[in-house]
Amino acid sequence: MDHERIAVLAHEKFPDRAKTALGVLRYGDQDVRAVLDRDRAGDRVSDHVAEVSDAPIVDSFGDAHAAADGELDALYIGIAPIGGGFDESWRADVEAAIEAGCDVVSGLHYFLNEDEELAALADEHGVDLVDVRKPDDDLTVASGASGDVDADVVLTVGTDCSVGKMTASLEIVAAARERGIDAAFVPTGQTGIMIAGWGNPIDRVVSDFAAGAVEEMLVEAGDDHDLLVVEGQGSIVHPAYSAVTCGILHGSMADGLVLCHAAGREAVHGYESFDLPPLADYVDLYEDLAAPVHETSVVAGALNTKDVADDAAAADAVTDFGDEVGVPAADPVRDGAARIVDGIVDAGLGGE
Amino acid sequence: MDHERIAVLAHEKFPDRAKTALGVLRYGDQDVRAVLDRDRAGDRVSDHVAEVSDAPIVDSFGDAHAAADGELDALYIGIAPIGGGFDESWRADVEAAIEAGCDVVSGLHYFLNEDEELAALADEHGVDLVDVRKPDDDLTVASGASGDVDADVVLTVGTDCSVGKMTASLEIVAAARERGIDAAFVPTGQTGIMIAGWGNPIDRVVSDFAAGAVEEMLVEAGDDHDLLVVEGQGSIVHPAYSAVTCGILHGSMADGLVLCHAAGREAVHGYESFDLPPLADYVDLYEDLAAPVHETSVVAGALNTKDVADDAAAADAVTDFGDEVGVPAADPVRDGAARIVDGIVDAGLGGE
């Protein structure tokens, strides 16, 4: 995937329920020339989201293409309904994009390539339908080669799902680059893949190949950068998703870990009968579990304070979190990730 | 799968390189009426393997069917070449089985159902091709329901791959039944599935659903038995396969763990640059990692002593292993699993 000028479909959900659209706007290298949301057509992105490149919000792909002077090369599906299905109300826009010669990129469970109408139309117009949740067929088991890559590897690990591991990873890369470190983001989930334009969706890889799919990315990127920041998934004690987490932990053979947590979270999101263990237990679990494959330690912390009322309370929460974990910490969204990069650099990682 | 009278294909590999054939002979409920091995045709199973039901070894499916008075209802593929491919020299036997109205059961990576010739022939004759490595399409994420099943759950966990977790699990079930406990085996790999006639191949399930695929089996079987023995896979510190192990650990929400080890093993099988950590570290890792989802402890140990020269040395190795782990231990193959069941019962598990 190498798209320069894109439109992002976010009908009826922009911005608050359009996580992928927001991620692409905030962190993608692509130039977002229009957002499709029929409920907000006529507004501008800057009316709703600060600190991202502005673009018009339009009603349809046709309007987007016109607003972009016909220069679009892809349409990204920037929303995911519960269940990951394809909403038939999007079909006209997707078809219009294909007919205009644009690729269509989707992180839905529903694979565009398996939709006979869309597949035939894409074939006719010579464009790609990119289903980022569909793993490559040539993935296989890990060999242990992640330990041999030249770059230092940092992995974001979580106390739970949905605590901001992807955002922390992207902010760490940005802050490291500001410090002159040649850093790159290694995506492991569909939104990260859409932002970065490459990657393996580890949660969709068969469990035998989970570590191998991480290794394959690190081997691919490892000689081109000094620091690779691997996007973690789930939590090592999640009742449903820990297999994904464990495969990434051992497959990455990370040199340092950044512990990510959401302020105030006390139980597993969506599994409220399972309490989160104390933060110190997470540190021990991640380090002790990683060690037989590759020695590592938690070198920094990222606290998501979006549910904390004000900046002063958020700052206190970050201080408490850093003290409890015993590492430099920040909320990468409120504060930026400079202090997290301090922890990474202090651990001797990211140097040439 | 519910086959009563079967033939097992093991051409050129019976018995030493026919792990699945041996497993079905030793532990399957099916009546094995013939083994196909063209190199040993004319011998009998009892010429090569002790303590299993005897059967003729024959050259072809035709001979097997004749030896079984035409009463076979399935042919099981009892060998797996490196890579899991289909050996074309087996095709005539598989076709003959289908033409005789027999199902064909395979644990190969190569799916019989995707072989157009075999699929068409099976369709024509109204028989099933059962690819046990192909997961059900309706698997999904775990909900945490394993904690609610009536049965007590024991999981075999390993220090490595290929240490005898499947065998230990099957021997534990046999020994528990001898003690009057209503125990059942919960298979998680292709050989176990072929022996038991049901199950989910966790290593082939997408990593997001690994725990859920274990949970689905426990919920299915949990109200029918007092003790479920879940077949573990890999090791929690395996460089390639730990995702599978972790999904089974949390998906099973086991009440007790049986630590399985191979005497003399010091490095990861096939990954010799990775040393195995001390046994006590495994106990801590498995217990500490399980605890936030479901409190559990290692209640017994199984030591595989097949590479130990004599019974006396094996007995010493078992004693040392049990002392080091601090639990009752046995080699389930040399000794049977009665002492392992002691540990399970002493922990209060398996009662009504």
Domain boundaries, chain B: 5-131, 145-346
Task: Find the CB nearest B246 among A243, A274, A288.
Answer: A243
Residues B340 and B311: beta-carbon distance below 8 Å? no
What percent helix, strand, coil does chain A show, rounded to 5? 40, 20, 45
The two beta strands, B271-275 and B267-268, are: antiparallel
CA–CA distance, B18 with B84 (Å, rounded to integer)? 13
Chain A residues touching residue B204 (CB < 8 angstroms): 206-208
Instruction: Identify from B246, B281, B294 which residue to disrupt to test chain A contact, counting A C-beta atoms within 10 A and taking the largest count.
Output: B246
Helix axes A19-27, A165-178, angle to 10 degrees: 10
Closest-CA distance of chain B to residue A257, Å:
17
* DSSP states along B81-142: -TT-PPPGGGHHHHHHHHHTT-EEEE--SS-GGG-HHHHHHHHHHT--EEETTS--TT----
Residues B345 and B301: beta-carbon distance below 8 Å? no
| Chain-chain contact of B246 with A242 (C-beta, under 8 angstroms) | yes
The two beta strands, A31-36 and A57-58, are: parallel
Is A137's Cβ below 8 Å from some Cβ in B? no
Closest-CA distance of chain B to residue A215, Å:
10
| Chain-chain contact of A239 with B211 (C-beta, under 8 angstroms) | yes
Is A83's Cβ below 8 Å from some Cβ in B? no
| Chain-chain contact of A239 with B206 (C-beta, under 8 angstroms) | no
Residues A301 and A321: beta-carbon distance below 8 Å? yes
Task: Find the CB nearest A289 among B241, B275, B285.
Answer: B285
Considering only alpha carbons, which residue of chain A is nearest residue B284? A288
- Span B271-292, pLDDT tens digits: 999 999 999 999 999 999 999 9
Same CATH fold assignment for domains B5-131 and B145-346: yes
Residue B1 has pLDDT above 80, yes or no: no
Task: Find the CB nearest A206 among B203, B275, B293.
Answer: B203
ipTM comes to 0.94
Considering only alpha carbons, which residue of chain B is nearest residue A272? B144
Chain A residues touching residue B288 (CB < 8 angstroms): 281, 284-285, 288
Chain A residues touching residue B240 (CB < 8 angstroms): 141-144, 208, 211-212, 250
Chain A residues touching residue B211 (CB < 8 angstroms): 239-243
Task: Identify the H or E element spanning B210.
Answer: helix B210-221
Task: Find the CB nearest B207 among A202, A239, A288.
Answer: A202
Residue B83 has pLDDT above 80, yes or no: no
CATH fourth-level superfamily of A5-131:
NAD(P)-binding Rossmann-like Domain (3.40.50.720)
Chain A residues touching residue B285 (CB < 8 angstroms): 288-289
Task: Identify the H or E element spanning A273.
Answer: strand A271-275
Residue B8 has pLDDT above 90, yes or no: yes
| Chain-chain contact of A277 with B285 (C-beta, under 8 angstroms) | no
Is A208's Cβ below 8 Å from some Cβ in B? yes
CA–CA distance, B347 with A74 (Å, rounded to integer)? 60
| Tokens at B21, concatenated | 């054939």
End-to-end CA distance of chain B: 29
**How far apart, in Å, are the Cα atoms of A337 and each of A152, A340, B56?**
18, 5, 70
- Span B208-265, pLDDT tens digits: 999 999 999 999 998 899 999 999 999 999 999 999 999 999 999 999 999 999 999 9
Residue B31 has pLDDT above 90, yes or no: yes
The two beta strands, A103-106 and A183-186, are: unpaired
| Chain-chain contact of A284 with B285 (C-beta, under 8 angstroms) | no
Residues A258 and A166: beta-carbon distance below 8 Å? no
Is B276's Cβ below 8 Å from some Cβ in A? yes
Residue B124 pLDDT: 98
Mean of pLDDT values over B159-185: 97
| Chain-chain contact of B242 with A240 (C-beta, under 8 angstroms) | no
Residue B109 pLDDT: 86
- The contacts of residue A123 (CB under 8 Å, 6+ apart) are none
Mean pLDDT of chain B: 96
Buried b (16+ CB within 10 A) or exposed e, B224-249: ebbbbbbbbbbbbbbbbbbbbbbbbb
Q: At B352, is the pLDDT very low, low, confident or very high (cuts 50, 70, 90)? A: low
Tell me which residues of chain A have a pLDDT lower than 50.
Answer: none
Instruction: Compute chain A's Rg from CA coordinates.
Output: 20
CA–CA distance, B55 with B35 (Å, rounded to integer)? 7
- The contacts of residue B36 (CB under 8 Å, 6+ apart) are B7, B8, B9, B10, B11, B57, B58, B59, B60, B61, B64, B93
- Which CATH architecture does the domain made up of A145-346 adopt? 3-Layer(aba) Sandwich (3.40)
Residue B112 pLDDT: 97
